Structure 1
């Protein structure tokens, strides 16, 4: 941010101070609800509807949601269309020039305390920065950095603060200060931007070409739930997955086992592994494809044990999760199932935010676990299969005290090294040669599970590596009856194999094949 502000490029800023003056009001919400003449207007309203869960405690008839990004877009377009854009003249915001900079470190400057990667342990600072300059102070090291708190608990660090300053570090920037009111005092919409926003979205020109029914012609708002009343169901099983590619292949397999042998009661998602939490929609789609919309799906903790913030659990540390690549071969590919996710039929069930209005919230893993136990016959127990980090299973043990109701736990993970040449698979951490990802991504959870007294069957990395490799599996798949699910699995495995052969960033693809064990 500092570099952009000091680059010499003319900059216009629409800060939080300005967007805070355009909250979503009850009147705007109702007007928007009545103005949905285009597909894009419908989509934007539904999106807004999921955001406006709470009303503001400070302003009556307003929601605790503001027109942040759309207001900035409106201001920018209006300035570009203005006859005098240099002065920032526009329809929607009052503007003024200010001299500001972006704070990158905290006083005192020039004192090395181990927090600043631009200076610490370097003879020459990075980016040719001055040793005693504004970048040479303390850099906030975490959410609870003790340097940043004074005795009364108020934070004093200013990393990222856009401060109004004077002197050589100041940059003249055009700043929006507040939203302009609607000059029509008789209108229910009290901001000028509200009028333009609704008008633009409702214009027939350049309107959206597709809606859900044309984009997904086979989509039906129908849930497929099989009737097992006349069947003797097999062993009750809960599948805990982290949504890696191998997990989805495993899920196909579990769904193909006759229910008289294995009764898949629920799926628990552990998003401390190879995919982000929103990938849960792919699970819903896969279950829909297989006609098993009856199986509940619970979302587990996003952070590994003891990694979430004590005060605000919605944020935390990614100490272990940062070992998973964010780009190719990591989160990006897992979240899209390597580009194949959209080939699945679209389920009516979707992930829904916790604060969504008039929509059922996404159930949590422990809620699903508790509800499943209530359906069990007296004296019966349940089996758990885990294909990812053990965060979810550890939470069941520590938070529900129901470990005695678990018959067996089958765990894919761990590495029992037979020699110094027998390495693990955490390929992103060069200093750790022997760890296995499922254990590494939440070691405290793994310790909790192994010390719990559960009856555990472990399938470690050495055993997984004895599974047939991609060429053998793909060859065998071609010889089988090609059901839709077999075709999808073949496409996915072929994609992984092709990527592994063509680019070094995908050398680890075989480990997803190993999870089929």
Structure 2
């Protein structure tokens, strides 16, 4: 399946793997730009890390726009405890050779979606949804240019990863997630329910390392540093590669299964703040607004990832 694609991202270890994955599939994913947002670490670092991913993939032609520095309303939070102070662990970071594209990510989204053919652009969202929420508030008509939103976001059966009920990308800006879920564009969400079933193993990481290129070593080094934290916290046999599941879904949706349901975000202060209330059984009889992915083929995912990483420098 071919997508004209923009990736909105807050790199982040798993985001970097997702970006390398996407940039290795130019025949299927026609990547227009990356738009960076504050999330896993502050904006200066997420935008730099997006540029580094382009550099490592040999794709300095892809522009990176820096976007929102903070959430719409809530106090900013970060995940440096998971992703390290620089946002990527396991590899050395440096200042990229290519500068950021001029202009703000929100302006880029408005400009691009306003002039795009109707329902032509897929937007993959790997972090807090602040950039799109700001764009929709300024120019609600841009929804006509969007074909689909594919989000790594939310949790239901699995429970949260930042609070007992909330997943980080939603918790970091629940008001933005709320606005995005109400925008009327077809939405697919890959929540922790799915990502916690697609886990690394020593063999899967060794296979990536053994590809013999720089990208394979980078991905393996990141996973070696990143995976054990979640393995320990959740007592799981491997670590999830959350954001990279979005790219696998775009390339081979048959690897995943779910159903159309109603999903709403709890944006009220309290224990449920940032929770995605996923009405899996249709109890509320509200219109479905999300294709909620509940399961995935772990080996199929890692086969697809390795095949694509092998194409990179």
Q: TM-score, normalised by structure 1?
A: 0.43
Show the 5 A alignment for 1:350-389: 350=99, 362-373=102-113, 376=116, 378-379=117-118, 381-389=120-128
Match of 2:132 among 372, 393, 397: 393
Q: CA separation in 1, counterparts of 2:181 and 2:16?
A: 25
Instruction: Check the 8 A contact 1:237/1:383 in 2, yes or no.
Output: yes
Q: CA separation in 1, counterparts of 2:2 and 2:115?
A: 14
CA 1:339/1:484 → structure 2, altered by over 3 Å: closer, same or farther?
A: closer
Instruction: Check the 8 A contact 1:470/1:497 in 2, yes or no.
Output: no
Gaps of 5+ in 2: 246-313
Map of 2:183 onto structure 1: 452
Which has the larger share of helix?
Answer: 2
Q: CA separation in 1, counterparts of 2:229 and 2:216?
A: 20
When the two chains are superposed, the root-mean-square deviation of aligned CA atoms in Å is: 3.0
Map of 1:276 onto structure 2: 42
Counterpart secondary structure, 1:253: helix
Map of 1:476 onto structure 2: 207
Map of 2:287 onto structure 1: none
Q: How big is the shift at 1:252?
A: 0.2
Match of 2:217 among 471, 479, 487: 487
Flag as ranges the 4+ runs of structure 1 deviating above 6 A: 504-508
Q: CA separation in 2, counterparts of 1:444 and 1:396?
A: 14
CA displacement, residues 472-511 of structure 1 (integer Å, 9 cap, x when unaligned): 53143245x322211111111112245667xx78989x76
Mean Cα deviation higher: 247-256 or 288-297 = 288-297
CA 1:507/1:347 → structure 2, altered by over 3 Å: closer, same or farther?
A: farther
Match of 2:146 among 406, 415, 431: 406
Q: How big is the shift at 1:449?
A: 0.9
Q: Does the alignment pair 1:340 with 2:108?
A: no
Q: Does the alignment pair 1:464 with 2:195?
A: yes
Show the 5 A alignment for 1:185-334: 234-257=2-25, 259-271=26-38, 273-279=39-45, 280-307=47-74, 317-318=75-76, 321=77, 324-326=78-80, 328-330=81-83, 332-334=85-87
Instruction: Check the 8 A contact 2:119/2:144 in 1, yes or no.
Output: no
Q: TM-score, normalised by structure 2?
A: 0.68
Instruction: Check the 8 A contact 1:269/1:297 in 2, yes or no.
Output: yes
Counterpart secondary structure, 2:70: coil
CA 1:301/1:473 → structure 2, altered by over 3 Å: closer, same or farther?
A: same
Show the 5 A alignment for 1:5-84: none
CA displacement, residues 179-227 of structure 1 (integer Å, 9 cap, x when unaligned): xxxxxxxxxxxxxxxxxxxxxxxxxxxxxxxxxxxxxxxxxxxxxxxxx
Q: How big is the shift at 1:287?
A: 1.2
Q: How big is the shift at 1:366?
A: 1.6
Q: Does 1 or 2 have the higher relative contact order (CA < 8 Å, sep 6+)? A: 2
Q: CA separation in 1, counterparts of 2:27 and 2:98?
A: 26
Instruction: Check the 8 A contact 1:396/1:403 in 2, yes or no.
Output: no
CA displacement, residues 268-295 of structure 1 (integer Å, 9 cap, x when unaligned): 1111x11111112222232133332221
Q: CA separation in 2, counterparts of 1:412 and 1:387?
A: 5
Q: In the comparison of the two structures, how many residue pairs are matched?
A: 243
Q: Does the alignment pair 1:423 with 2:162?
A: no
Q: CA separation in 1, counterparts of 2:68 and 2:240?
A: 22
Map of 1:513 onto structure 2: 241
Counterpart secondary structure, 2:244: coil
Q: CA separation in 2, counterparts of 1:339 and 1:461?
A: 23
Which has the larger share of strand?
Answer: 2
Map of 2:98 onto structure 1: 349
Q: CA separation in 2, counterparts of 1:497 and 1:416?
A: 22
Q: Please say which structure displays the higher CA radius of gyration.
A: 1
Q: CA separation in 2, counterparts of 1:301 and 1:511?
A: 29
Instruction: Check the 8 A contact 2:6/2:33 in 1, yes or no.
Output: yes
Instruction: Check the 8 A contact 2:6/2:31 in 1, yes or no.
Output: yes
Gaps of 5+ in 1: 1-232, 308-316, 352-360, 427-431
Instruction: Check the 8 A contact 2:199/2:239 in 1, yes or no.
Output: no
CA displacement, residues 397-448 of structure 1 (integer Å, 9 cap, x when unaligned): 222220111000001111123xxxx42111xxxxx42111111111111111
